[in-house]
């Protein structure tokens, strides 16, 4: 793992930096590259603009490790209202949430209660509910609650991280239950005991897992195979493999983040691939933004340009 990535991921957990760094105007300018604004309405404007370009959306309000009951209730309320508003607008825009945002650190049943309410509302609206994946210490509980949810609602998916050694086993088991999988490389600082330390190994594992996800047997239960990546080479490899084994472009999806590889998003949509873009918004953006910088330390140039430019 590069030193820059390690430092940026450590900084993402710093309370001091979160409280002080986020006030600097140059940081706020730099972050706007990755998010259209702090409000739900800002997100809607971006989602509608993308819809006009043939790209659908996923929305997430930034936040994690909520330790206050009222705040967790507020987050759940925000998403419930959001799902209703999207239904009213007839927009293809799916919610994606972090369990620690719904109070998982306070009480697991509290978080499940909120999760269940969101899945019920999404189900009633003909929508789909995505569950994000956080640090490795949360994987077991996240998967356990997602399986439970799938027992009650059909349109549920979860994010799995290719950097974890355990992911192949999880992936096969979850797809067998008809749970959608959004495969990503993984955004956190993980110990070598649980995750591949070398990027080349993560990339190789991603390809191997993608092949499993595209197999007819994996998709038989109706699970959505989603590839959450901006890695153009990887995307091309997946598309070529799908074509070789006769999987149609409509049978799998690519999800990317707002503001990253926009040209690739448009090219894929133009080529007939299914593309969704995850739009994050909200005022709790510091740890999330630091993880975006860690993914590509060259992004530090954008920060520098905003300081001096």
Min CB(228)–ligand FAD separation in Å: 4
Nearer to ligand FAD, 100 or 218 (CB): 100
Min CB(170)–ligand FAD separation in Å: 13
The reply to whether 65 sits near ligand FAD by the rule CB under 6 A is: no
Min CB(118)–ligand FAD separation in Å: 16
Residue selected from 106, 194, 260, 266 as contacting ligand FAD according to rule CB under 6 A = 260
18 catalytic? Reply is: no
Q: CA 253 to CA 63: how far, in whole Å?
A: 25
Q: Is 187 helix (H, G, I), strand (E, B) or coil?
A: coil
Residue selected from 46, 72, 76, 184 as contacting ligand FAD according to rule CB under 6 A = 184
Q: Determine contact, residues 213/257, Cβ cutoff 8 Å.
A: no
Half-sphere exposure of residue 305: CA atoms within 13 angstroms, side-chain side: 9
Q: Which listed residue (61, 121, 132, 224) is catalytic?
A: 132
140: enclosing H helix or E strand: helix 139-152
85 catalytic? Reply is: no
Largest CA distance in the chain: 54
Which residues are CB-contacts of 18 (< 8 A; sequence separation ≥ 6)?
286, 287
Buried b (16+ CB within 10 A) or exposed e, 20-29: eeeeeeebee
Nearer to ligand FAD, 84 or 223 (CB): 223
Report the candidate in 145, 118, 121 with the shortest Cα–Cα distance to residue 134: 145
Residue selected from 257, 279, 280, 290 as contacting ligand FAD according to rule CB under 6 A = 257
Q: Which listed residue (155, 182, 224, 292) is catalytic?
A: 182
Three-state secondary structure string covering 39-62: CHHHHHHHHHHHHCCCCEEEEEEC
The reply to whether 132 sits near ligand FAD by the rule CB under 6 A is: yes
Q: CA 205 to CA 209: how far, in whole Å?
A: 6
The reply to whether 95 sits near ligand FAD by the rule CB under 6 A is: no
The reply to whether 299 sits near ligand FAD by the rule CB under 6 A is: yes
The reply to whether 278 sits near ligand FAD by the rule CB under 6 A is: yes
DSSP string, 297-309: GGGHHHHHHHHH-
Near ligand FAD by CB under 6 A, which window of 12-20, 108-116, 216-224, 254-262?
254-262
The reply to whether 14 sits near ligand FAD by the rule CB under 6 A is: no
Number of residues that bind ligand FAD (CB under 6 A): 24
Report the candidate in 131, 144, 75 with the shortest Cα–Cα distance to residue 103: 75
**Binding to ligand FAD, residues 213-242 (CB under 6 A):** 228-231
Min CB(202)–ligand FAD separation in Å: 8
Residues in contact with ligand FAD by the rule CB under 6 A: 132-133, 159, 161, 182, 184-188, 228-231, 255-257, 260-261, 278, 292, 295-296, 299
Catalytic sites, residue numbers: 132, 182
């Amino acid at each position: 793992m590069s030193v820059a990535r390690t430092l940026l991921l450590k900084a993402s957990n710093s309370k001091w930096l979160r409280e002080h760094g986020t006030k600097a105007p140059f940081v706020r300018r730099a972050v706007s590259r990755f998010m259209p604004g702090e409000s739900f309405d800002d997100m809607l404007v971006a989602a509608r603009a993308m819809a006009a370009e043939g790209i659908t959306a996923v929305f997430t309000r930034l936040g994690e490790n909520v330790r206050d009951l009222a705040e967790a209730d507020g987050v759940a309320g925000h998403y419930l209202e959001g799902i209703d508003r999207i239904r009213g607008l007839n927009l293809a825009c799916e919610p994606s949430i972090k369990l620690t945002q719904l109070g998982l650190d306070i009480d697991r049943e509290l978080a499940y209660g909120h999760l269940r309410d969101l899945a019920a509302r999404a189900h009633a609206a003909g929508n789909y509910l995505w569950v994000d994946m956080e640090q490795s210490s949360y994987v077991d509980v996240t998967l356990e609650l997602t399986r439970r949810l799938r027992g009650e609602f059909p349109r549920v998916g979860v994010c799995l991280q290719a950097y974890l050694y355990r992911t192949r086993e999880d992936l096969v088991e979850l797809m067998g239950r008809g749970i959608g999988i959004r495969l990503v490389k993984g955004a956190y600082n993980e110990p070598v005991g649980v995750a591949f330390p070398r990027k080349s190994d993560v990339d190789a594992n991603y390809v191997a897992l993608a092949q499993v996800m595209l197999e007819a047997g994996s998709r038989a239960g109706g699970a959505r195979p989603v590839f959450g990546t901006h890695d153009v080479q990887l995307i091309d490899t997946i598309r070529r493999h799908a074509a070789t084994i006769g999987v149609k472009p409509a049978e799998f999806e690519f999800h990317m983040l707002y503001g990253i590889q926009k040209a690739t998003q448009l090219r894929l949509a133009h080529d007939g691939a299914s593309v969704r873009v995850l739009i994050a918004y909200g005022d709790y953006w510091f740890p999330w933004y630091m993880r975006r910088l860690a993914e590509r330390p060259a992004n530090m140039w954008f920060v520098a340009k905003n300081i001096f430019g």
